[in-house]
Amino acid sequence: MKCDNQDRLLCIKAILFCVILIFWFSVIMLLIFVVEIVVGISAFTYRDRIQSIVSQRFLKVLHTYGQEPRLTNAIDSIQQEFQCCGAQNFTDWLNSTLNMPATSVPRSCCRRNQPMCGNNALDHMDNLFLEGCVVKMRNWISEHIQVIGAMGLGLGFSQIFGILLSWLLVNFLRESYAAV
């Protein structure tokens, strides 16, 4: 970078600004990377506890079914996508406080969408998804853990690469600053 005498001060300020900006970018990237590692290790270490918490929260959400449209749609989507019913199994719905008869489940628990499918669920169990959603989601994660891990590693390596490149750029700019 060449600067004449008039622009020398502006060049120095621009280089210093770039160095500081890139330095803080790399520091923030490093902090994000460390947080990702801590979260990943914690999730692996406490996976049984996390599953228990997810199950408890899912049961709490079941009791608000029909009251909040967003949560209701989310539960219906999960049950249809994973072909499951309730947190542990379909009987979770039998104890819920839905505005339905005590032996009913939501229509999203039905294998075939038929009118009145969820009513008297115990009499029509052949048309229900019997397995709970927490178990189904855990199984899905177990089946896809290699892909999830590979994506995490790929993201981690790209972050490390970005951090290293930013440090190299900071060093290059510092050398340019020394030359000015």
pTM: 0.64
**Core vs surface per residue 93-132: b (16+ CB within 10 A) or e:** bbebebebeeebbbbbbbeeeeeebbeebeebeeebbbbb
All domains in the chain, ordered by first residue:
48-146 (1.10.1450.10)
Q: What angle do CA 52, 55, 60 make, to 5 degrees?
A: 130
Model confidence pLDDT, tens digit, residues 138-177:
888 888 888 888 888 899 899 999 999 999 988 887 787 6
Ramachandran bin of 66, using left for φ above 0, alpha for ψ from -120 to 50, beta for the remaining angles: left
The owner of tokens 């999960």 is: 78
Model confidence pLDDT, tens digit, residues 75-132:
999 999 999 998 888 888 876 666 566 667 888 888 877 766 766 667 677 788 889 9
